[in-house]
Structure 1
Amino acid sequence: MNPAIEQIITLRKEGKLDEAIALANKLVAGEPNSPIAHYQCAWCHDAAGLEREAVPYYEKAIELGLAPEDDLAGALLGLGSTYRTLGLYEQAAATLAKGRQQFPQDRSFPVFLSMAYYNLGRHHEAMTLLLQNLAETSIDPTISAYRRAIVHYAEDLDKTW
Protein backbone atom coordinates (compact mmCIF):
# COMPACT_ATOMS: atom_id res chain seq x y z
CA MET A 1 0.00 0.00 0.00
CA ASN A 2 1.08 3.54 -0.72
CA PRO A 3 2.84 4.93 2.40
CA ALA A 4 0.91 8.22 2.14
CA ILE A 5 -2.39 6.33 2.18
CA GLU A 6 -1.23 4.29 5.17
CA GLN A 7 -0.39 7.53 6.97
CA ILE A 8 -3.78 9.07 6.05
CA ILE A 9 -5.58 6.00 7.43
CA THR A 10 -3.53 6.09 10.62
CA LEU A 11 -4.18 9.80 11.15
CA ARG A 12 -7.91 9.32 10.53
CA LYS A 13 -8.08 6.41 12.99
CA GLU A 14 -6.24 8.50 15.57
CA GLY A 15 -8.77 11.30 15.14
CA LYS A 16 -6.20 13.68 13.65
CA LEU A 17 -8.62 14.67 10.94
CA ASP A 18 -7.14 18.05 10.01
CA GLU A 19 -3.76 16.41 9.40
CA ALA A 20 -5.39 13.53 7.51
CA ILE A 21 -7.31 15.97 5.30
CA ALA A 22 -4.20 18.03 4.57
CA LEU A 23 -2.24 14.94 3.59
CA ALA A 24 -5.16 13.55 1.54
CA ASN A 25 -5.55 16.86 -0.32
CA LYS A 26 -1.83 16.82 -1.07
CA LEU A 27 -2.09 13.24 -2.32
CA VAL A 28 -5.02 14.10 -4.61
CA ALA A 29 -3.12 17.10 -5.98
CA GLY A 30 -0.12 14.89 -6.73
CA GLU A 31 -2.16 11.95 -8.05
CA PRO A 32 -5.33 13.50 -9.54
CA ASN A 33 -6.21 10.32 -11.45
CA SER A 34 -5.94 8.01 -8.46
CA PRO A 35 -9.36 6.74 -7.38
CA ILE A 36 -7.90 5.54 -4.08
CA ALA A 37 -6.53 9.01 -3.30
CA HIS A 38 -9.95 10.56 -3.96
CA TYR A 39 -11.67 7.92 -1.84
CA GLN A 40 -9.33 8.49 1.10
CA CYS A 41 -9.81 12.24 0.77
CA ALA A 42 -13.60 11.79 0.76
CA TRP A 43 -13.48 9.56 3.81
CA CYS A 44 -11.37 12.07 5.75
CA HIS A 45 -13.73 14.93 4.95
CA ASP A 46 -16.74 12.79 5.83
CA ALA A 47 -15.22 11.73 9.15
CA ALA A 48 -14.59 15.38 9.97
CA GLY A 49 -18.24 16.26 9.40
CA LEU A 50 -17.45 17.99 6.12
CA GLU A 51 -20.04 16.09 4.10
CA ARG A 52 -20.45 18.65 1.30
CA GLU A 53 -16.71 18.70 0.74
CA ALA A 54 -16.60 14.88 0.74
CA VAL A 55 -19.14 14.42 -2.08
CA PRO A 56 -16.96 15.45 -5.07
CA TYR A 57 -14.14 13.22 -3.85
CA TYR A 58 -16.47 10.21 -3.51
CA GLU A 59 -17.94 10.92 -6.94
CA LYS A 60 -14.50 11.27 -8.52
CA ALA A 61 -13.20 8.08 -6.90
CA ILE A 62 -16.13 6.13 -8.35
CA GLU A 63 -15.88 7.89 -11.73
CA LEU A 64 -12.16 7.08 -11.96
CA GLY A 65 -12.93 3.39 -11.51
CA LEU A 66 -12.35 2.58 -7.87
CA ALA A 67 -12.17 -1.21 -7.85
CA PRO A 68 -14.08 -3.48 -5.48
CA GLU A 69 -10.81 -4.58 -3.92
CA ASP A 70 -10.00 -0.91 -3.33
CA ASP A 71 -13.12 -0.19 -1.28
CA LEU A 72 -15.72 0.53 -3.96
CA ALA A 73 -18.36 -0.72 -1.53
CA GLY A 74 -17.17 1.78 1.08
CA ALA A 75 -17.22 4.62 -1.43
CA LEU A 76 -20.76 3.82 -2.59
CA LEU A 77 -21.99 3.49 0.99
CA GLY A 78 -20.19 6.67 2.05
CA LEU A 79 -21.52 8.65 -0.92
CA GLY A 80 -25.06 7.34 -0.52
CA SER A 81 -25.09 8.04 3.20
CA THR A 82 -23.61 11.50 2.67
CA TYR A 83 -26.20 12.34 0.02
CA ARG A 84 -28.88 11.35 2.53
CA THR A 85 -27.48 13.52 5.31
CA LEU A 86 -27.43 16.44 2.87
CA GLY A 87 -31.09 15.91 2.00
CA LEU A 88 -30.35 14.56 -1.48
CA TYR A 89 -32.62 11.59 -0.96
CA GLU A 90 -33.11 10.52 -4.58
CA GLN A 91 -29.34 10.45 -5.19
CA ALA A 92 -28.89 8.62 -1.89
CA ALA A 93 -31.41 5.93 -2.80
CA ALA A 94 -29.98 5.49 -6.30
CA THR A 95 -26.40 5.21 -5.02
CA LEU A 96 -27.29 2.82 -2.19
CA ALA A 97 -29.43 0.67 -4.51
CA LYS A 98 -26.47 0.46 -6.90
CA GLY A 99 -24.24 -0.60 -4.02
CA ARG A 100 -26.78 -3.16 -2.88
CA GLN A 101 -26.92 -4.62 -6.39
CA GLN A 102 -23.13 -4.75 -6.76
CA PHE A 103 -22.49 -6.00 -3.23
CA PRO A 104 -25.50 -8.15 -2.25
CA GLN A 105 -23.58 -9.76 0.61
CA ASP A 106 -22.97 -6.38 2.28
CA ARG A 107 -25.79 -5.98 4.82
CA SER A 108 -25.10 -2.30 5.41
CA PHE A 109 -26.59 -1.31 2.04
CA PRO A 110 -30.20 -2.34 2.74
CA VAL A 111 -30.05 -0.68 6.16
CA PHE A 112 -28.84 2.65 4.76
CA LEU A 113 -31.16 2.31 1.77
CA SER A 114 -34.10 1.88 4.13
CA MET A 115 -33.21 5.24 5.70
CA ALA A 116 -33.21 6.92 2.28
CA TYR A 117 -36.53 5.27 1.46
CA TYR A 118 -37.93 6.57 4.73
CA ASN A 119 -36.82 10.10 3.82
CA LEU A 120 -38.51 9.72 0.43
CA GLY A 121 -41.77 8.69 2.07
CA ARG A 122 -41.36 5.12 0.82
CA HIS A 123 -42.14 3.71 4.25
CA HIS A 124 -43.33 0.31 3.09
CA GLU A 125 -40.07 -0.38 1.23
CA ALA A 126 -38.04 0.94 4.14
CA MET A 127 -39.76 -1.36 6.64
CA THR A 128 -39.52 -4.34 4.31
CA LEU A 129 -35.76 -3.91 3.93
CA LEU A 130 -35.22 -3.45 7.66
CA LEU A 131 -37.37 -6.37 8.70
CA GLN A 132 -35.84 -8.72 6.15
CA ASN A 133 -32.35 -7.69 7.18
CA LEU A 134 -33.20 -8.09 10.87
CA ALA A 135 -34.73 -11.52 10.36
CA GLU A 136 -31.89 -12.76 8.19
CA THR A 137 -29.03 -11.54 10.38
CA SER A 138 -30.20 -11.55 13.98
CA ILE A 139 -28.65 -14.07 16.32
CA ASP A 140 -31.07 -13.11 19.06
CA PRO A 141 -33.02 -16.30 19.82
CA THR A 142 -36.28 -14.41 20.31
CA ILE A 143 -35.97 -12.95 16.79
CA SER A 144 -34.59 -16.14 15.23
CA ALA A 145 -37.58 -18.10 16.51
CA TYR A 146 -39.86 -15.94 14.36
CA ARG A 147 -37.56 -15.52 11.34
CA ARG A 148 -39.95 -17.11 8.83
CA ALA A 149 -42.93 -15.13 10.09
CA ILE A 150 -41.03 -11.83 10.06
CA VAL A 151 -39.79 -12.39 6.50
CA HIS A 152 -43.30 -13.39 5.41
CA TYR A 153 -44.98 -10.39 7.02
CA ALA A 154 -42.29 -8.01 5.75
CA GLU A 155 -43.38 -8.76 2.18
CA ASP A 156 -46.74 -7.04 2.75
CA LEU A 157 -47.24 -5.32 6.08
CA ASP A 158 -50.71 -4.14 5.08
CA LYS A 159 -52.09 -7.62 4.40
CA THR A 160 -54.64 -9.00 6.83
CA TRP A 161 -56.13 -12.46 7.06
Structure 2
Amino acid sequence: MLNIVLLEPEIPANTGNIGRTCVATNTRLHLIEPFGFKLNEKALKRAGMDYWKDLDVRTYIDFEDFKRQNPGAKIYMATTKAPKVYTEVRYEPDCYIMFGKESAGIPEEILVEYKENCVRIPMAGDIRSLNLGNSVAVILYEALRQQKFAGLEVTGHLHRLSWE
Protein backbone atom coordinates (compact mmCIF):
# COMPACT_ATOMS: atom_id res chain seq x y z
CA MET A 1 0.00 0.00 0.00
CA LEU A 2 1.31 3.42 -0.94
CA ASN A 3 1.22 6.24 1.59
CA ILE A 4 0.61 9.95 1.15
CA VAL A 5 1.84 12.22 3.93
CA LEU A 6 0.64 15.81 4.39
CA LEU A 7 2.81 17.90 6.67
CA GLU A 8 0.75 20.60 8.38
CA PRO A 9 -1.99 20.94 5.75
CA GLU A 10 -3.78 24.29 5.88
CA ILE A 11 -6.74 24.13 3.48
CA PRO A 12 -9.56 21.70 4.31
CA ALA A 13 -10.77 21.36 0.70
CA ASN A 14 -7.30 20.27 -0.45
CA THR A 15 -7.09 17.63 2.27
CA GLY A 16 -10.62 16.44 1.51
CA ASN A 17 -9.84 16.09 -2.19
CA ILE A 18 -6.60 14.26 -1.40
CA GLY A 19 -8.51 11.95 0.93
CA ARG A 20 -10.90 11.11 -1.91
CA THR A 21 -7.95 10.38 -4.21
CA CYS A 22 -6.48 8.10 -1.53
CA VAL A 23 -9.73 6.15 -1.22
CA ALA A 24 -9.90 5.77 -5.03
CA THR A 25 -6.36 4.37 -5.11
CA ASN A 26 -6.27 2.26 -1.93
CA THR A 27 -3.66 4.63 -0.52
CA ARG A 28 -3.22 5.41 3.18
CA LEU A 29 -3.25 9.10 4.18
CA HIS A 30 -1.02 10.39 6.99
CA LEU A 31 -1.71 13.85 8.43
CA ILE A 32 0.92 15.61 10.54
CA GLU A 33 -0.21 18.41 12.86
CA PRO A 34 -0.73 21.26 13.27
CA PHE A 35 -3.61 21.54 10.80
CA GLY A 36 -5.14 24.77 9.52
CA PHE A 37 -8.59 23.28 10.19
CA LYS A 38 -10.41 20.77 12.36
CA LEU A 39 -10.75 17.20 11.04
CA ASN A 40 -14.51 17.39 11.51
CA GLU A 41 -14.77 20.60 9.47
CA LYS A 42 -17.62 20.68 6.94
CA ALA A 43 -15.38 21.82 4.03
CA LEU A 44 -13.10 18.82 4.56
CA LYS A 45 -15.99 16.35 4.48
CA ARG A 46 -17.66 18.11 1.53
CA ALA A 47 -14.48 17.87 -0.60
CA GLY A 48 -14.03 14.22 0.38
CA MET A 49 -17.75 13.68 -0.12
CA ASP A 50 -19.11 10.43 1.19
CA TYR A 51 -15.71 8.75 0.73
CA TRP A 52 -14.19 10.14 3.93
CA LYS A 53 -15.66 7.30 6.01
CA ASP A 54 -13.74 4.80 3.82
CA LEU A 55 -10.39 6.59 4.16
CA ASP A 56 -7.48 4.90 5.93
CA VAL A 57 -6.13 7.98 7.71
CA ARG A 58 -3.57 8.31 10.49
CA THR A 59 -2.69 11.47 12.41
CA TYR A 60 0.49 12.53 14.22
CA ILE A 61 1.32 15.38 16.57
CA ASP A 62 4.49 16.31 14.65
CA PHE A 63 7.08 14.95 12.20
CA GLU A 64 9.07 13.27 14.98
CA ASP A 65 5.92 11.41 16.06
CA PHE A 66 5.39 10.32 12.44
CA LYS A 67 8.96 8.98 12.19
CA ARG A 68 8.63 7.22 15.55
CA GLN A 69 5.43 5.45 14.48
CA ASN A 70 6.77 4.53 11.03
CA PRO A 71 10.35 3.36 11.65
CA GLY A 72 12.40 2.63 8.55
CA ALA A 73 9.84 4.22 6.23
CA LYS A 74 11.15 5.07 2.75
CA ILE A 75 10.01 8.69 2.39
CA TYR A 76 10.07 10.73 -0.81
CA MET A 77 9.78 14.49 -0.36
CA ALA A 78 7.84 16.45 -2.98
CA THR A 79 9.39 19.91 -3.22
CA THR A 80 10.04 22.61 -5.78
CA LYS A 81 13.62 22.70 -4.43
CA ALA A 82 14.52 19.19 -5.65
CA PRO A 83 17.03 18.69 -8.46
CA LYS A 84 15.35 15.40 -9.48
CA VAL A 85 12.07 15.02 -11.39
CA TYR A 86 9.41 12.77 -9.82
CA THR A 87 9.60 10.34 -12.77
CA GLU A 88 13.30 9.68 -12.18
CA VAL A 89 12.79 7.54 -9.06
CA ARG A 90 11.47 4.04 -8.50
CA TYR A 91 8.63 4.10 -5.95
CA GLU A 92 8.45 1.06 -3.71
CA PRO A 93 4.96 -0.44 -3.10
CA ASP A 94 4.99 0.61 0.56
CA CYS A 95 6.78 3.95 0.27
CA TYR A 96 5.65 7.29 1.69
CA ILE A 97 5.35 10.42 -0.45
CA MET A 98 5.33 13.58 1.64
CA PHE A 99 3.99 17.03 0.74
CA GLY A 100 4.36 20.22 2.77
CA LYS A 101 1.81 22.81 3.76
CA GLU A 102 0.31 24.96 1.04
CA SER A 103 1.95 28.23 2.11
CA ALA A 104 5.53 27.07 2.67
CA GLY A 105 6.13 23.47 1.60
CA ILE A 106 8.40 21.15 3.58
CA PRO A 107 10.92 22.94 5.83
CA GLU A 108 14.49 22.85 4.54
CA GLU A 109 15.80 21.20 7.72
CA ILE A 110 13.66 18.16 6.86
CA LEU A 111 14.56 18.28 3.15
CA VAL A 112 18.28 18.21 3.95
CA GLU A 113 17.79 15.02 5.95
CA TYR A 114 16.09 13.37 2.93
CA LYS A 115 17.89 15.18 0.08
CA GLU A 116 18.47 11.98 -1.93
CA ASN A 117 14.71 11.35 -1.94
CA CYS A 118 13.53 14.82 -2.93
CA VAL A 119 11.50 15.03 -6.15
CA ARG A 120 9.86 17.83 -8.09
CA ILE A 121 7.17 18.31 -10.69
CA PRO A 122 8.50 20.36 -13.62
CA MET A 123 6.79 23.72 -14.09
CA ALA A 124 7.23 26.71 -16.39
CA GLY A 125 8.62 30.05 -15.26
CA ASP A 126 8.37 31.45 -11.79
CA ILE A 127 5.18 29.75 -10.66
CA ARG A 128 5.48 28.90 -6.97
CA SER A 129 3.83 25.48 -7.16
CA LEU A 130 0.82 23.50 -8.32
CA ASN A 131 -2.25 23.09 -6.15
CA LEU A 132 -1.53 20.52 -3.41
CA GLY A 133 -4.27 18.14 -4.54
CA ASN A 134 -2.97 18.23 -8.11
CA SER A 135 0.61 17.63 -6.97
CA VAL A 136 -0.45 14.61 -4.92
CA ALA A 137 -2.39 13.16 -7.87
CA VAL A 138 0.48 13.63 -10.34
CA ILE A 139 3.11 11.89 -8.21
CA LEU A 140 0.79 9.26 -6.73
CA TYR A 141 -0.38 8.14 -10.16
CA GLU A 142 3.22 7.88 -11.36
CA ALA A 143 3.97 5.60 -8.41
CA LEU A 144 0.83 3.57 -9.20
CA ARG A 145 1.76 3.39 -12.90
CA GLN A 146 5.17 2.01 -11.98
CA GLN A 147 3.39 -0.70 -10.00
CA LYS A 148 1.10 -1.46 -12.97
CA PHE A 149 -1.90 -0.06 -11.03
CA ALA A 150 -1.94 -3.15 -8.81
CA GLY A 151 -5.32 -3.66 -7.17
CA LEU A 152 -7.05 -0.96 -9.25
CA GLU A 153 -9.63 -1.27 -12.03
CA VAL A 154 -7.78 -0.50 -15.25
CA THR A 155 -10.56 -1.26 -17.74
CA GLY A 156 -13.79 0.70 -18.06
CA HIS A 157 -16.98 -0.33 -19.85
CA LEU A 158 -19.42 1.74 -21.86
CA HIS A 159 -23.09 1.39 -21.04
CA ARG A 160 -25.56 1.37 -23.89
CA LEU A 161 -27.50 4.62 -23.89
CA SER A 162 -30.94 5.08 -25.41
CA TRP A 163 -31.40 8.32 -27.34
CA GLU A 164 -35.10 7.80 -27.94
TM-score by length of 1: 0.24
Structure with a larger share of its residues in strand: 2
Higher relative contact order, chain-length normalized (CA < 8 Å, sep 6+): 2
TM-score, length-scaled by structure 2: 0.24
